[in-house]
Amino acid sequence: MKTDILGVRFDDLAPDEMVRTAASLIQAGGFHYAVTPNPEFILAAENNPAFREALNQADLSMPDGIGVVYASKILGRPLPHRVPGIDFASALMDWMAKEGLRLYLLGAKPGVAQKAGENLEKAHPGLVVCGTHDGYFQDNEAVAEEIRQSAADVALVCLGAPKQELWMAQYGPSTGVRFMAGLGGALDVFAG
Ligand code: UDP
């Protein structure tokens, strides 16, 4: 079920259900993407229709942060669960590792995604990080083509908001991946 908080939709799912839903979307094939809106996203989306649309067309939307959960309670449409994007990604990568799936990391300053990839392969034995690219590029089509060439199943897109949501909505389908998640500063965290 989707819950609307000031014009932005959220999935009313517990963290483990969020991961299971992502896993079924990946198994189903086709292109899907997930967003992790916090209160700043909701405010920004109010004045940015393209951003709002990219958020609301996502297949999965998780309340990333306690602020959204509080707002949902005040508005009388309570979302009982907070689903931090980093925790979601970690649980998804555990599942991907078991399945032997391929992950692409897009975003952050040069060198960060590569370091994050090395750490993630160690933390999730069996996970294949099949490519990385920093988040400061001009040629969107060339990056989408690089992802396609990597034969990734899943990509983490960490370009900050609203850039990552607009990028996933516009270029995601041409990359051939089955699932993308927009995760802000996650690569900086994973790089340690
Ligand atoms: N970033 C990027 N390309 C850009 C702008 C930002 O790759 O054009 C990266 C930045 O290096 C950082 C992440 O996006 O790793 C954004 O992190 P931040 O915590 O500021 O974003 P938020 O999660 O608050 O949206």
**Cβ contacts of residue 3 below 8 Å, gap of 6+?**
9, 10, 11, 12, 72, 77, 79
Residue nearest to atom 1 of ligand 1 (CA): 159
Query: Domain tally for the chain?
Result: 1
Say if strands 60-61 and 32-35 run parallel, antiparallel, or are unpaired: parallel
41 CA → ligand 1 middle, Å: 13
165 CA → ligand 1 middle, Å: 12
Ligand 1 within 6 A of CB of 9:
no
Q: Residue 146's domain spans which residues? A: 2-191
Ligand 1 within 6 A of CB of 109:
yes
Ligand 1 within 6 A of CB of 108:
yes
Work out the average pLDDT over 46-62: 98
Q: How confident is the model at residue 115 (pLDDT cuts 50, 70, 90)?
A: very high
Say if strands 2-5 and 8-11 run parallel, antiparallel, or are unpaired: antiparallel
Handedness of CA 173, 187, 36, 53 (dihedral sign): negative
Residues in the chain: 192
Q: What is the distance of C-alpha 123 from the center of its chain? A: 19
ipTM confidence: 0.94
- 160-178 pLDDT, tens digit each: 999 999 999 999 999 999 9
Q: Which of 115, 134, 159 to mutate to test the pocket of ligand 1 (most atoms within 8 A of CB)?
A: 159
Cβ proximity of 42 and 7 under 8 Å:
yes
Q: Which of 68, 106, 158 to mutate to test the pocket of ligand 1 (most atoms within 8 A of CB)?
A: 158
pTM to 2 decimals? 0.97
- Of all residues in the chain, the percent with pLDDT exceeding 70 is 100
- 133/97 Cα distance (integer angstroms): 21
- 135-162 pLDDT, tens digit each: 999 999 999 999 999 999 999 999 999 9
Q: Would you say residue 191 has pLDDT above 90?
A: yes
The predicted pLDDT at position 123 comes to: 98
- 135/133 Cα distance (integer angstroms): 7
- 9/98 Cα distance (integer angstroms): 31
